[in-house]
């Protein structure tokens, strides 16, 4: 038996999962340095006041509130349990706070008729909610939703699963929005900075955030003791967390929850 024989066996049968489950040890992570990118002052001066397009998207009957800023082209997606007024107002409030936390101010929101019932509530917060006519739509958010749906379908068709639980479908949407924000947009206010970099001052690096593709089967660490129980558990890679450490979110197949 030669070294080449062992390498060929690993290529054919992959690594020994049982050995990895009991021999894996948790290594101490390196100190993380947070390097936030400064937003150019000219962007804040010219585009510090944000106009937001908003709409509701359905995928497999699961509703999401989708938003996109018209100039920065930063998009968000949030799962909602229903379309009641309180739910829409709460979701809108969270988006407004996110922009304000990074120095931006929301001046107007573009929406269609299904948001007309919260128009006065939004107006009380100093934000103009512009409702389009009954036979019209907001072009910016409609195109963004179409792009997200295309990305979701492209990922779903490449996965080896016959059925998609709601949690997995939601995470596919979040994954698509994350990567759409991570690359420069052709209609954005800056030619080289991504919407995420403009909004949050954070850049995505290949070595940290592109290690795992969505749907990859991995072994993740879990709490253990001196018993003979395995030290890892099977999970499905979902998306990068976006932090400087380069963490990822996973869907645990045993514990039925998410871990980072």
The pLDDT confidence band at residue 228, using thresholds 50, 70 and 90, is low
Question: Rounded to the nearest 5°, which phi and psi values hold at 239?
Answer: -165, 165
How far apart (Å, rounded) are the C-alpha atoms in residues 138 and 55? 8
- Residues paired with 94 in a beta bridge: none
Determine the 3-state secondary structure of 84 from DSSP.
Answer: coil
Q: Catalogue the E-assigned strands of 89-155.
A: 105-111, 128-131
Rounded to 10°, the helix 166-180/139-158 angle is 120
From 156, 161, 186, select the one nearest 60 (Cα to Cα).
156
Determine the 3-state secondary structure of 7 from DSSP.
Answer: helix
Q: Which of 16-20, 103-107, 237-241, 250-254 has the lowest mean pLDDT?
A: 16-20
**32, pLDDT greater than 80:** no
Query: What is the share, in percent, of the chain residues with pLDDT greater than 70?
Result: 86
Domain boundaries along the sequence of the chain: 16-26+206-259, 41-159
How far apart (Å, rounded) are the C-alpha atoms in residues 167 and 231? 25
How far apart (Å, rounded) are the C-alpha atoms in residues 127 and 113? 17
Residue recorded with tokens 């107006």: 123
Q: Mean pLDDT across the stretch 19-24?
A: 56
What does the pLDDT read at residue 48? 80
Q: Catalogue the E-assigned strands of the chain.
A: 49-59, 62-69, 75-79, 105-111, 128-131, 217-221, 232-240, 248-252, 258-259
Taking only the tens place, the pLDDT of each residue in 69-95 is: 988 889 999 999 998 999 999 998 899
The pLDDT confidence band at residue 244, using thresholds 50, 70 and 90, is confident
Q: What is the DSSP letter of 143?
A: H
> What does the block give as tokens for 251?
């869907």
Is the backbone of residue 75 left (phi > 0), alpha (psi -120 to 50) or beta?
beta
Q: Mean pLDDT across the stretch 161-190?
A: 87
CATH number for the domain formed by residue range(s) 41-159: 3.30.420.10
The pLDDT confidence band at residue 15, using thresholds 50, 70 and 90, is low
What does the pLDDT read at residue 224? 65
């Amino acid at each position: 038996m030669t070294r080449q024989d062992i390498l060929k066996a690993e290529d054919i049968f992959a690594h020994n999962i049982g050995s990895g489950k009991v021999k894996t040890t948790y290594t101490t992570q390196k100190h993380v340095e947070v390097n936030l990118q400064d937003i150019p002052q000219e962007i804040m001066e010219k585009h510090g006041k944000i106009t937001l397009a908003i709409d509701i998207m359905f995928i497999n009957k699961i509703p999401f509130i989708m938003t996109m800023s018209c100039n920065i082209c930063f998009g968000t997606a949030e799962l909602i349990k229903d379309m009641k007024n309180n739910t829409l107002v709460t979701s809108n409030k969270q988006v407004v706070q996110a922009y304000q936390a990074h120095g931006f101010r929301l001046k107007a929101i573009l929406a269609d008729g299904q948001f007309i019932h919260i128009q006065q509530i939004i107006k009380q917060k100093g934000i103009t909610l512009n409702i389009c006519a009954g036979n019209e739509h907001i072009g910016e958010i409609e195109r963004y939703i179409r792009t997200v749906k295309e990305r979701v379908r492209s990922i779903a068709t490449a996965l080896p699963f016959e059925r998609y639980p709601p949690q997995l479908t939601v995470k596919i949407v979040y994954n698509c929005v994350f990567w759409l924000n991570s690359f420069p947009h052709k209609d954005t206010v800056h030619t080289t900075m991504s919407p995420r970099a403009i909004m949050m001052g954070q850049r995505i690096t290949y070595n940290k955030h592109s290690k795992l593709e969505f749907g990859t089967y991995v072994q993740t660490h879990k709490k253990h003791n001196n018993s003979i129980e395995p030290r890892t558990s099977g999970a499905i890679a979902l998306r990068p967390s976006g932090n400087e450490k380069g963490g990822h979110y996973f869907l645990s197949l045993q514990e039925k929850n998410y871990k980072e």
